[in-house]
Structure 1
Amino acid sequence: MMVIDDQKDLDLAETMTEIKQCARPGCTNPVEIIPGHRPRKYCGNGCKQLAYLQREDEKRLQAEAAAQQAQYERDVDALRQRYGLDSLSPKVLDGLLQLRSHYSVGLMYQVGEMLILAVKEAHRSYNEAVNALREEIMLVGEQLNFVAITGPQNQTLRGVQPYCDAIGRASLEELYAMRDSVHLARRARQHLAEVSAQLEAKYSNRHADLS
């Protein structure tokens, strides 16, 4: 009968080596870990030095990225101070900076000035459209004694103050809808007046025939 020597098996296990993979990214070489010795992380001194250089490169790249981001933010702030905080979107500002990087500062500012003019013209046109719609709604509403119409969010508007409140906060699209609603009310009143006139004429004619 075979007897197992537990102490001998334990001593044997302590002398067995462990195999791990080299810690340098990209290296698949094995690393022998010997019990009783300081654990090794790399397969050799060459890999150890390469790993150090890789870490230093990562630190440098991170520092460069942080510096580039900081410079980008300073450039964006400078453009916003020049053209106005909300005049241009972040995407447009980024495009201007790309022009500077690939071409010249002069071209960047030239395109920026053109964009600002376009934005100002768009704002002017928008404001003119809003003011014209507000005036039209109030004038037609006054002719109808500010009859009930449908306002923003399907609210029923009746009276001068509800009209004023609604056009003051309505968007351009909502103002167009209010204009259509007030004109619809005017056409309905005109149609009603025409029908009433026809009925009155018909009644007058019948009354004349009877007399």
Structure 2
Amino acid sequence: MMTNLFSVFDPSTSILNMSMNWTSTFLGVIMMPMVFWLVPTRMMILWNSITKTLHNEFKTLLGSTGFNGTTFMFISVFSLILFNNFMGLFPYIFTSTSHLAFTLSLSLPLWISFMLYGWINHTQHMFAHLVPQGTPSVLMPFMVCIETISNLIRPGTLAVRLAANMIAGHLLMTLLGGTGTSLSYSILSLLLITQIALLMLESAVSIIQSYVFAVLSTLYSSEVN
């Protein structure tokens, strides 16, 4: 049973030996250029206001030392994760953000680029980050070890947090949906209400996890300047 349950998140669907599970990830790339040739709709006006709000917030987090245009990179990351999270809510579409291959591909290059930039250009500043201000002399070696470990696991925590949150809700909905055939009509109506509530919760989690990933990436980049 567990093998069948977790096979939902296994990218194995194929047509003519070509994997189709990641197709949903590339649908946004196909649809995106179309919006530049259309009259702005209410949806586009709403999306523009969202990106403007995110731009102002990320700019505040980066501070005066941030490079111009850096916020657009994090807005793009937010948009990509948000699109894939919502695509995974549709039936028979593989949730690519529930796979570590996708989430690590986003977090690891970002973290490596931040570390390379920080250690090459601001070496003294990066060493200073290893010992928080006001740390007693006796605890300094321990603090260096703790800060180093916490810094090294950052890409892993970013990737696992996103993947785990996507998997958890989908697994719960799959488990509840599998019991529908053996229930009476009265309990089935209750199950449907629960599934709708879970779907709304998953929609909120999709937005929140996209925002958390983008904000944490912004904070990590602001530390190296």
TM-score (norm 1): 0.24
**By percentage of residues, which structure has more helix?**
2
- For the pair shown, the structure with the greater C-alpha radius of gyration is 1
